Structure 1
Amino acid sequence: MKAMPARLMLLAACLLAAVRVVALAEDEGPAPQQAEAPDVVRMAEVVLDGTTARGKILHEDDEMIRIESVDGSTIGYRKDRITGLRRYAVSPASFHEQRGDYRHERAADAPDALAELTKARQAYQRALVLAESEADRARIQAKLQTLEAEGKERHEEAVRQEALAKAREETELARLAKQLTQEKLAALEQQGQDIVQLTRHLNDLEQKVRLLGATVERLERRIEELDDDLDRLDRLDRVFITNTVFLNLQRDHERLKRDVDRLEREMRRP
């Protein structure tokens, strides 16, 4: 058997060494995964129906992923429905700084701006504690100073607006009180005029009643006179009275009684 060339022997030795390394690796099992650093926040960017959402990963498995956005809300996504998923990591200081930025921007249009500024300050303070470099601390500190100045300005503006609203309310109350007083005075004046007119009307009625009473008295006296005349005529044996004259007297007597009755009814009317 011929001796193998030196180059061929070297190649065979290298192959044998490689096989031994592979076999040793298979015996030892898969290499352990490197433990994730505890000072990072795992983040995810999820795309669903053209809308992108970013937030801290709270839970993830083969089917679901749940994230917490910078506004503190949480939402879960089914992985079979999302169209894009990107994972990344940020430092805890950066995460809280982003929350502070979000609250600071939101304060511009929020109904309760002071509450949003308070939440922004709390987030910046956490970020300042967790910051790892002087540059990060200086940047966050500058944001806190800006936030403090803006919060002071907004507080002063809120105080001014409150004082202005109170002044407007007091002015409106004074106007309403004045208007109510004027209305009461006008009502009292109208009542006085109504009383004067009513008094005049009552005086007129009393005068009419007196006139009607006098008329009734005259008619009653006339009736009595007619009654006396009739009695005298009845007692006169020698006086010839025609039926026509007697009937005329009776008709006059009845007509006068009717007039008296009518006047009495008019007097009793309200």
Structure 2
Amino acid sequence: LYYYGDILFLSNRYLDLDDQLQKHKHNLGKMTGKKYLITGGWGRLGSHMKDSIPSVASRKNQMNILSTNQVEYLVKTAKFDAILHLAAISNQKLAEKEKLLSYQVNVLGTRNVAEIAQKYSLKLYYISTDYVFPGTKGNYKETDDASPANWYGFTKYAGELEVKNAIEDYCIIRTSFRPTKWEFPTAYTNVYTSADYVDIIAKEIILCLDYNLNDIIHIGTSIKSFYELAKIRNPNIIPEKCHDQTFPKRRDLNIDKWLFEKKKRGTYE
């Protein structure tokens, strides 16, 4: 298996579907009775989700989202109810360095998945990012205009537009997450986020699937500094300030709409 950033996405072979269906048979019906095709299902986020929902998770040697034939083959071979599209180049430095490749995967690959979802009447859940915003004012709402500050954000926002243009039944989930442990010895006290650890965000996204939401939704947890987030799992984290004037210090998302949906269903504590 080969990683580009956090998510797996490329392949040259078709899925051994019978083997995968048997492997995930114990998961079927755990949630809503729906079955999901997860692209990038063995990446950081997908790995925390795939054991909790009925799914067949694609891996690098199983499906290439740049090939409509491979995507369509998999969709035709098994009866899915929806697609959860996680596959992407999410490493910002790699996206900046390999602009053509990241455009192909994040934009054209998303177009392929969306068009196949529309063709077979499957709902599409597209995982987007807070990087569609510039990170200047913070508390961004779903209705705020996107204005990506870097190439990664641009490709993910372009992916959003591909979804909107290709399919009627979709949900765009803007979110952000960290590894299960803070990976640095220090954390900024003056940079704010609505992100959380990947195991927390994975559970929130599973709730979103269960709610069957549409359009755009911002998913995260309460706004806090990087330092406050890091301190949750590393009490010995060293605080520091970010003095880089170009660093986006307020990319946090407004999650009021998400909290309303949870409260309406009695799942908001």
TM-score normalised by the chain length of structure 1: 0.20
Select the structure that is richer in helix. 1
TM-score normalised by the chain length of structure 2: 0.20
- The structure number with the bigger radius of gyration is 1
